[in-house]
Amino acid sequence: MSTTQIPEVLWAQRSHKENPDKNVIYLTVVIPDAVEPKINLTSDKLVIDSKSGAAAHYAVQIDFFKEIDTENSKYSLTGRNIFFVLYKKELQEEFWPRLTKEKLRLHWLRTDFERWVDEDEQEAQPEAAANPFGAGGMPDLSALGGGMGGMEGMDFSQLGNMGGQNDEEDSSEPELEEAGEEEGEEKKE
CATH number of 4-120+132-143: 2.60.40.790
Measured CA to CA, the distance from residue 81 to residue 70 in angstroms comes to: 20
pLDDT per residue as tens digits for the range 84-109:
999 999 998 889 999 999 999 999 99
User: Sheet of 24-30: strands edge to edge?
Assistant: 68-77, 81-88, 24-30, 8-13, 109-111
pLDDT per residue as tens digits for the range 24-54:
999 999 999 998 899 999 999 999 999 987 6
pLDDT at 159: 40
Summarize the confidence of residues 102-128 as an average pLDDT: 77
Give 6's DSSP letter. P
Q: Which residues lie closer than 8 Å to 4 by C-beta, 6 or more apart? A: 57, 58, 59
- For the entire predicted model, the pTM comes to 0.63
pLDDT over 80 at 119, yes or no: no
Nearest Cα to Cα of residue 14 among 107, 108, 85: 85
